[in-house]
Amino acid sequence: MEMTFFMIKPDGVQRGLVGRIIRRVEDKGLKIVAMKMRRLDQATAEEHYAEHREKPFFKDLVDFIISGPSVSMVVEGKDVISEIRRINGATNPTEALPGTIRGDFGLDTGRNMVHGSDSPASAEREIALHFDAVERIDYSRIDEAWLYE
């Protein structure tokens, strides 16, 4: 099974959407194998957004992600990277389809509530940045036999 990093950003936490967002992940049949709420420090935020370091919006990204608590997760499942990105919707909420997190709850690109890794390499890097290996729990869900062939 594939793993990905998934984060509910400070705007999702502040708006009280954590439970509703997690429910969408679990309703899809995806398995949360690690989760924690924390306020990211500057260094972790800068490393998280390292690929944007030279872009003009880098400082705004970092400032926003450290502005309040966020909820970080490692999610596991078949094709989970693409599934989480589909559940999230387009980065710009005005372009996100109804039924996606951003399409249903978002209004502004800078406040788009969630982050999901965009590739296996990004997932590996982001999981390692946010979680120690011992924080991930290996377990079987009772419904897995009904989810996968």
Residues taking part in catalysis: 115
Residues 86-110, buried b or exposed e (16+ Cβ, 10 A)?
A: ebbbbeebeebeeebbbbbbbeeee
How far CA 47 is from CA of 42, 44, 126, 136, in Å, comes to 9, 5, 9, 21
In angstroms and rounded to an integer, the radius of gyration of the C-alpha atoms of the chain is 15
Nearest to 17 by CA among 106, 93, 91: 106
